[in-house]
Amino acid sequence: MPINMSANILLNDTDTLSLPLPLPYNGVEYSPEQVNGFIDETIEQSKQPILIFGGNWCPDCRILDGTLQLPTIKKFMEEKYQIMHIDVGRYDKNMDLISYFGIPKDKGVPRVMVFDKNKVILNKKSTKEWTTARDRGKQEVFNYFQDLAK
C-alpha cells in the first residue's frame, strides 16, 4: 500500500515500546453475531471497526499491539477506531470468523481487518500485512492506520 507521508502525523523519539508487551487476547470464542454487534456499535459511535485476529503466543501480535499503545498512536486510534482482538488459539479458535468475512483462513497472525463505516473491509488484500510486525517500524504501522482512516 503506498504511503502518503505528507498527510500523516509523525512519531517522535518519546514514542517507544514499553515492556512487557501487551497480552491482548482473552481466549473467548465469538459468534458472527457478536462480531457484527461490535461492528454495528462501533459505527454507531462514528468510529471505524478493526478486528485483529491473533494470539498472545505470537510475538508479531504482541509487538503490533504494543505499537498501537504508543501514546501518539493510541490517541489517534481512540479517536478514529475501535479494536476487537479475536483470539485464534493455536489456529483452533475463531478461524471460521476469518472466512465469514471472505478472507482465506490461512495461518499467519496477526490478521487485521479495517472496516469503513459501511462495513466494507478496506484492506481485504492486505489483512496479512502485519504477520511481520517485528520487522516493521512504528511509523510504518502508524501510517498504515492513518491511511485507512476515513
Q: Are 67 and 33 in contact, with CB atoms under 8 Å apart?
A: no
Pick the CATH number of 21-148 from 1.10.3720.10, 3.40.50.300, 3.40.30.10, 2.40.37.10: 3.40.30.10
Length of the chain: 150
Closest CA to 57 of 106, 24, 19, 105: 24
Q: What is the pTM of this model?
A: 0.92
In this model, does residue 8 exceed pLDDT 90?
A: no
Report which of residues 8 and 39 the model is more confident about: 39
Specify the pLDDT at position 5.
Answer: 47
Distance CA(53)–CA(127), nearest Å, equals 10
Q: What is the pLDDT of residues 57-92, one digit of tens each?
A: 999 999 999 999 999 999 999 999 999 999 999 999
**Domain residue extents for the chain:** 21-148
Arithmetic mean of pLDDT, 38-54 = 98
Distance CA(104)–CA(54), nearest Å, equals 15
